[in-house]
A and B are shown apart, each in its own frame.
Chain A
Amino acid sequence: RKEVEQDPGPFNVPEGATVAFNCTYSNSASQSFFWYRQDCRKEPKLLMSVYSSGNEDGRFTAQLNRASQYISLLIRDSKLSDSATYLCVVYTGGFKTIFGAGTRLFVKA
Chain B
Amino acid sequence: GAGVSQSPSNKVTEKGKDVELRCDPISGHTALYWYRQRLGQGLEFLIYFQGNSAPDKSGLPSDRFSAERTGESVSTLTIQRTQQEDSAVYLCASSLRGGEANIQYFGAGTRLSVL
Most buried by B among A95, A98, A99, A102: A95
The residues of B that contact A16 with a CB separation of less than 8 Å are: none
Q: What mask results when residues 21 to 59 of chain B are scored 1 for a CB within 8 Å of chain A, else 0? A: 000000000010101000001110100101000001000
* Top-10 shortest CB links A-B: A101-B42, A43-B106, A99-B43, A95-B98, A95-B48, A32-B101, A44-B106, A43-B108, A46-B103, A102-B42
The residues of B that contact A44 with a CB separation of less than 8 Å are: 43, 91, 104, 106
Complex CA gap A21/B102 in Å reads 23
Complex CA gap A102/B41 in Å reads 8
Q: Total interface residues on A, using CB and 8 Å? A: 20
Chain A: minimal CB distance from B88 (Å): 13
* Residue A70 lies at the interface, judged by CB distance under 8 Å to chain B: no
Chain B: minimal CB distance from A6 (Å): 9
The residues of A that contact B104 with a CB separation of less than 8 Å are: 44, 46, 97
Dominant SS at the B interface? loop
Task: Report the nearest B residue to A89, measured CB to CB.
Answer: B104
Interface residues, chain B, with chain A CB atoms under 8 Å away: 31, 33, 35, 41-43, 45, 48, 50, 56, 91, 98-109
Contacts A/B (CB < 8 Å), 29 sampled = A32-B100, A32-B101, A34-B103, A42-B108, A43-B106, A43-B107, A43-B108, A43-B109, A44-B43, A44-B91, A44-B104, A44-B106, A46-B103, A46-B104, A46-B105, A49-B103, A87-B43, A91-B99, A91-B100, A91-B101, A91-B102, A94-B99, A95-B50, A97-B33, A97-B45, A99-B42, A99-B43, A101-B41, A102-B42
Most buried by A among B99, B105, B108: B99
Complex CA gap A102/B56 in Å reads 24
* Residue A45 lies at the interface, judged by CB distance under 8 Å to chain B: yes
Dominant SS at the A interface? strand
Complex CA gap A91/B102 in Å reads 8
